[in-house]
């Protein structure tokens, strides 16, 4: 039994629609693959924090302290100013050093005797100020041509740093940037303050944690308690504190 013409025509229409839909799906899939191959992920630009302490943090690092003792060819030992430099170096080592002392000695014939005489005085000053002999390491170096020879005293210490300052990643003028459109602080704001604070602090560890408490001053505490027991004012009296004034302005 043969199929009718209408049935054959409808079947052809269904097949053509199916083929067209499959072609469209295949074309869409190929286009998606092409676009995916050309797409590269872009980094989202995020504006830094408004807190200057987060933009310019103070970091603790290990630095060096160096003192040079210059040597002469016809004289050994230390001059009075050099003795003062070595003494200050030894006292600073006890307070802030994180390791031993390294002494760089020039390895030259012209200043060999002068270096030996100077080293004897340096070691005696170290010993008098609590630097043990086994905490001092000697290291020889070759001085440069006509450069003046010197003994270099070195030790490591804790340092605080911030910066560098003067960086301007964005313009201050009109721009399509959150720094301008949202009236935020510019990048360099606060950097100089952080850098100055890092350079002025006496003990960089104070920026991380407080120091341990020291015993109270017993002599002053005893005086204050005795006055309190007698019913007197425990505050101190400062007579003639303004005797050196040369003007009476404000009286």
CA distance 102 to 140: 10
**Tens digit of each residue's pLDDT (9 = 90 or more) over 176-216:** 777 777 788 888 889 999 999 999 998 899 998 888 888 88
CATH 3.10.20.90 is held by the domain 62-159: no
Task: Give the per-residue pLDDT at 38.
Answer: 52
Would you state the pLDDT for residue 37?
55
Say how far apart CA 193 and CA 175 lie, in whole Å.
27
CA angle 64, 66, 68 (to 5 degrees): 165
- pLDDT tens digits for range 31-75: 665 655 554 554 444 556 778 888 899 999 999 999 999 987 777
Which strand ranges, in their side-by-side order, compose the sheet holding 150-161?
Answer: 59-70, 150-161, 97-106, 136-141
Cα-based distances in Å from 210 to 134, 207, 217: 32, 8, 20
Average pLDDT of the chain is 81
What would the pLDDT profile of 112-148 be if each residue is shown by its tens digit?
Answer: 888 889 999 999 999 999 999 899 999 998 887 666 7
73 and 110 in contact (C-beta within 8 Å)?
yes
């Amino acid at each position: 039994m043969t199929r009718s013409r209408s049935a054959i025509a409808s079947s052809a229409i269904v097949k053509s629609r199916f083929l067209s839909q499959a072609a469209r799906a295949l074309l869409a899939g190929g286009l998606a693959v092409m676009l995916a191959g050309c797409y590269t992920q872009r980094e989202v630009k995020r504006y830094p924090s408004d807190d200057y302490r987060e933009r310019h943090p103070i970091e603790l690092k290990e630095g060096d302290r160096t003192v040079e003792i210059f040597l002469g060819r016809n004289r050994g030992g230390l001059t009075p100013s050099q003795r003062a430099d070595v003494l200050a170096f030894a006292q600073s080592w006890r307070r802030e050093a994180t390791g031993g002392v390294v002494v760089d000695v020039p390895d030259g014939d012209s200043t060999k005797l002068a270096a030996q005489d100077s080293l004897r005085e340096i070691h005696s000053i170290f010993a008098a100020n609590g630097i043990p002999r086994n905490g001092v390491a000697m290291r020889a170096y070759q001085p440069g041509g006509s450069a003046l020879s010197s003994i270099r005293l070195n030790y490591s210490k804790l340092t605080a740093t911030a910066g560098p300052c003067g960086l301007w990643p964005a313009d201050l003028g009109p721009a399509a940037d959150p720094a301008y459109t949202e009236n935020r602080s510019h990048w360099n704001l606060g950097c100089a303050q952080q850098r100055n604070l890092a350079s002025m602090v006496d003990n960089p560890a104070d920026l991380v944690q407080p120091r341990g408490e020291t015993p109270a001053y017993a002599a002053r505490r005893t005086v204050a308690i005795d006055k309190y027991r007698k019913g007197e004012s425990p505050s101190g009296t400062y007579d003639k504190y303004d005797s050196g004034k040369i003007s009476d302005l404000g009286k």
